[in-house]
Amino acid sequence: MILPGVISGTPPVLPTYTALIPTDQFWEIPQFGTYAYVVVAGAGGGGGSGRKSVAGTAAFGGGGGASGAVTRRWVSLDELRKQYGTRVPVVVGAGGAGGAAQSTNSTSGNSGGTGGTSSFGLSTLGIFMNAGGGGAGGGGTTGTGVAGTAGGNGDQGGANGGAGQSGAGSIGSPVSASPAIATGGGGGGGLAAAHAVANGGNGGLRYGGTAITLGGVGSGASGQDGTSSGSDCISTGGGGGASTLSAGVAGSGGKGGFPAGGGGGGGAAEDTTSTASGAGGDGGNGAIFITVWP
């Protein structure tokens, strides 16, 4: 028996590993190889920015963005070739942009962008994998800083963002008892009616352990960027920014880790003394990881 490819020369060493990014539109099915393990991760949502308020009026921090969903499957390349020919259309979701900082007095913050959905194949054909992006964090208002909602439409949903608050921002939702791929971003710190600086919330924990992505601590401190796994391991969401009463801007939310982490929410700011609220952090891009086997 002569296996495909051997006749024409030396086959490549397998397995091979590929990571697709948002600019990729197709995956060329390799000539060699019999099956592939495909991981599809939706992108993280962006965090919202904080509100600006006059003293005596509450200003909530921006909500943290949520993480994207994930779908994992073994795929037969013979069957894939039957359905798609030589290449498979793919969509890799881009991380949702963080909400822009608010520089206008007595104005609510801006919502972040929703993380993009990632997909492998076409929904009209048999082999099709999908993973939704994480929801965006809402801009801070006088009463809320809505947290992003976990990405769905996949094997395993994402994790919610943390809410922006008038005090310390909420911690992003963790990933501890599921095969999810990223945690949520922390909420931004706000200002209660009697204005006082508050810290940002940490990015969501993984495995219930110690926080590795901290929210901003102290006036105007930005949240840390999330930890990127760069792989099919758990990334973390960005930390939320702290609020401020001082000149300058409030703390920005940290970026979500790659892949799929939610962005942190931005901190709130005072009308007369501060230039702007903190911007929300961008969500981490989605990804498609493909390992091809002999």
Pairing of strands 269-270, 52-53: parallel
Provide the β-strand partners of residue 130.
Answer: 119
Q: 38: part of which helix (H) or strand (E)?
A: strand 35-41
Binding status of residue 178 toward another protein by CB under 8 A? yes
Q: Does residue 56 touch another protein according to CB under 8 A?
A: no
Token output for 89 = 């259309």
| Cis bond before residue 259 (omega within 30° of 0) | yes
177: contact with another protein by CB under 8 A: yes
Q: Which of 22, 24, 37, 55 touches another protein by CB under 8 A?
A: 37
- Under rule CB under 8 A, residue 233 binds another protein: yes
Instruction: Looking at residues 210 to 229 of the shown chain, list those that interact with another protein (rule: CB under 8 A).
Output: 210, 212, 227-229
Identify the residue among 22, 107, 127, 232 touching another protein (CB under 8 A).
Answer: 232
Exactly one of 10, 123, 124, 272 binds another protein (CB under 8 A); that residue is 10
Closer to another protein by Cβ: residue 5 or 22 = 5
Query: Which amino acid makes up residue 187?
Result: G
**Residue 79 gets which letter from DSSP?**
H
Complex with another protein: residue 7 or 194, whichever CB lies closer: 7
21 in contact with another protein (CB under 8 A): no
Residues 2, 23, 85, 123: which binds another protein (CB under 8 A)?
Answer: 2
Report d(CA 171, CA 133) in Å as an integer: 20
Nearer to another protein, 37 or 128 (CB): 37
Four-residue CA torsion sign, 109, 223, 186, 285:
positive
Distances, alpha carbon 241 to alpha carbons 98, 189, 190, 277, 292, in Å: 12, 6, 9, 9, 41
Return residues touching another protein (CB under 8 A): 1-3, 5-6, 10-11, 13-17, 19, 37, 39, 176-179, 206-210, 212, 227-235, 257, 289, 291, 293-294
